[in-house]
């Protein structure tokens, strides 16, 4: 039979229960192999219960000291009850000086105390009892998250100034650097908000007119990494020039915000059809799209969308890590282009001699390197307008694969 003897308002602070022959402290910590929460108990005495009832700070410090023992138990081992019981008198019944000395010798969960309002400066100076005078039953997990983030920054030698911290709070990335950034002006101290907005304005001016399109080579929702890197570099350069004292974390969060907003705008805007045929040019009448896995799609002039738009939709639907070769073919003209996304290259194939009733047809294959997604789009549009002949100015073209490989090794990657 288990009866709750004492509990506090916050559900995670350990409870005191009466079970079988006596009092026990019960706390939830960790998870089992099925990811379900684990619950631990260990015996306490009436004197310990009296302190737990009246002294929130000592109650929380005991919790902080026992949590590492729960971590040691892992997913299936029992709690070391002897070690837990050995903490009771030193934490709950000793003088403040002795408690502080104890916590200099044992492992304890600092973030639990910080979440419950402990004075961080006093904690860092080893004065735990004094730090816990500000303790609250209701936790502030964000406070603990920000403390852990500051510790990680300190480990890599980063110290934030007031404006740095304000920029990270403005983007919602103070505690979690991988969080998608947003504009949160209410999270910034009013006195610092004008400076924050000045930095943001510098970034906006640096990337004005730039955009980050979708990259169908990586699926329907993926963004163009090269365009992202270009925008991030432009913003970083401008912000560092205008605000040289900003920490790297602050500069990165601003460029991340600009790039994320640009990418989101593209995702949320209906895709405009790409015009393949220029003035006075009808372009191709019919094309066939294929991939390396046997998928095929036909396009004919006169439909609702251009050849280029239909092709890139086909790529977005079919592209995968093991499917990075796509072909556009004009069967009637006996020519086509093959896009090698894995190698940043493209081949154009033209028929030199058709094979009708005699020897096999003879083809000319020529290769060129491609500069990212924008380069592929230019080549696809040019081919849809005027076929392989329209690609002459997009060279240089190489007929020898060895020449292509040498050219690839001699340039920096674009993806």
- Asked if 212 and 263 count as a contact pair (C-beta separation under 8 A), the reply is yes
List of residues 6+ apart from 382 with CB closer than 8 A: 390, 391, 394
The upper half-sphere exposure of residue 186, i.e. CA atoms within 13 Å in the direction of its Cβ, equals 0
Residue 362 burial by CB count (10 A; 0-12/13-18/19+): exposed, middle or buried?
Answer: exposed
The H or E element that residue 298 is part of is strand 296-300
Give the whole-angstrom CA distance, residue 158 versus residue 251.
Answer: 13
* Residue 398 region by backbone torsions, left for phi larger than 0, else alpha for psi between -120 and 50, else beta: beta
Which of 183, 170, 178, 153 lies closest to 247 in space, CA to CA? 153
Tokens (6 digits) for 58: 């000592």
Provide the H-helix boundaries in 74-183. 81-88, 96-103, 110-115, 120-124, 128-131, 141-155, 162-170
Tokens (6 digits) for 46: 């009436």
- Asked if 311 and 303 count as a contact pair (C-beta separation under 8 A), the reply is no
Say what the pLDDT of residue 71 is: 94
**Sequential pLDDT tens for the chain (415 residues):** 689 999 998 778 999 999 888 999 999 998 888 888 899 999 999 999 999 999 999 999 999 999 999 999 999 999 999 999 999 999 999 999 999 999 999 999 999 999 999 999 999 999 999 999 999 999 999 999 999 999 999 999 999 999 999 999 999 999 987 789 999 999 999 999 999 999 999 999 999 999 999 999 998 888 999 999 999 999 999 999 999 999 999 999 999 999 999 999 988 876 555 544 444 445 789 999 999 999 999 999 988 889 999 999 999 999 998 999 999 999 989 999 999 999 999 999 999 877 666 677 788 999 999 999 999 999 999 999 999 999 999 989 999 999 999 998 887 655 4
Tokens (6 digits) for 158: 């980063």
Which of 330, 294, 291 lies closest to 313 in space, CA to CA? 291
Give the whole-angstrom CA distance, residue 32 versus residue 165.
Answer: 37
Say what the pLDDT of residue 273 is: 56
| Tally of CB atoms within 10 A around 252 | 21
Say what the pLDDT of residue 278 is: 46
The reported pTM is 0.74
List of residues 6+ apart from 201 with CB closer than 8 A: none
List of residues 6+ apart from 93 with CB closer than 8 A: 47, 48, 51
Tokens (6 digits) for 220: 């329907």
Which of 260, 254, 258 lies closest to 199 in space, CA to CA? 254
| Tally of CB atoms within 10 A around 212 | 26
The H or E element that residue 89 is part of is none
């Amino acid at each position: 039979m288990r009866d709750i003897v004492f509990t506090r308002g916050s559900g995670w602070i350990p409870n005191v229960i009466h079970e079988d022959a006596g009092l026990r402290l019960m706390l939830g910590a960790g998870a089992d192999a099925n990811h379900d929460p684990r619950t631990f108990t260990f015996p306490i005495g009436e004197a310990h219960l009296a302190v737990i009832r009246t002294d929130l700070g000592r109650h929380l410090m005991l919790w902080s000291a026992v949590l590492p023992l729960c971590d040691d138990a892992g997913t299936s081992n029992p709690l070391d009850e002897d070690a837990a019981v050995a903490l009771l008198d030193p934490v709950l019944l000793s003088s403040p000086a002795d408690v502080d000395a104890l916590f200099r010798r044992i492992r304890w969960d600092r973030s639990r105390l910080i979440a419950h309002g402990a004075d961080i400066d006093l904690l860092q100076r080893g004065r735990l009892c004094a730090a816990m005078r500000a303790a609250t039953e209701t936790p502030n997990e964000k406070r603990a998250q920000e403390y852990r983030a500051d510790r990680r920054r300190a480990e890599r030698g980063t110290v934030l100034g007031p404006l740095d911290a304000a920029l990270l709070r403005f983007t919602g990335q103070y505690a979690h650097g991988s969080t998608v950034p947003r504009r949160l002006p209410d999270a910034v101290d009013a006195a610092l908000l004008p400076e924050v907005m000045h930095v943001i304005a510098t970034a906006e001016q640096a990337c004005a007119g730039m955009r980050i399109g979708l990259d169908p080579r990586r699926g329907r929702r993926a963004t163009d990494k090269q365009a992202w890197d270009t925008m991030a570099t432009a913003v970083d350069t401008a912000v560092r020039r205008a605000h040289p004292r900003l920490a790297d974390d602050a500069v990165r969060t601003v460029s991340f915000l600009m790039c994320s907003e640009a990418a989101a705008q593209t995702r949320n805007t209906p895709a405009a059809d790409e015009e393949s045929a220029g003035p006075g040019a009808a372009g191709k009448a019919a094309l066939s799209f294929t991939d390396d896995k046997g998928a095929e799609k036909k396009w004919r002039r006169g439909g609702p969308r251009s050849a280029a738009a239909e092709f890139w939709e086909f790529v977005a639907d079919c592209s995968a890590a093991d499917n990075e070769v796509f072909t556009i073919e004009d069967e009637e003209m006996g020519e086509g282009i093959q896009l090698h996304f894995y190698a940043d290259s493209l081949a154009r194939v033209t028929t030199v001699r058709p094979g009708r009733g005699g020897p096999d047809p003879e083809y000319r294959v020529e290769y060129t390197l491609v500069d990212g997604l924008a380069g592929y789009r230019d080549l696809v549009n040019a081919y849809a307008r005027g076929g392989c002949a329209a690609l002459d100015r997009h060279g240089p073209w190489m007929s020898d694969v060895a020449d292509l490989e040498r050219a690839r090794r001699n340039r920096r990657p674009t993806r």
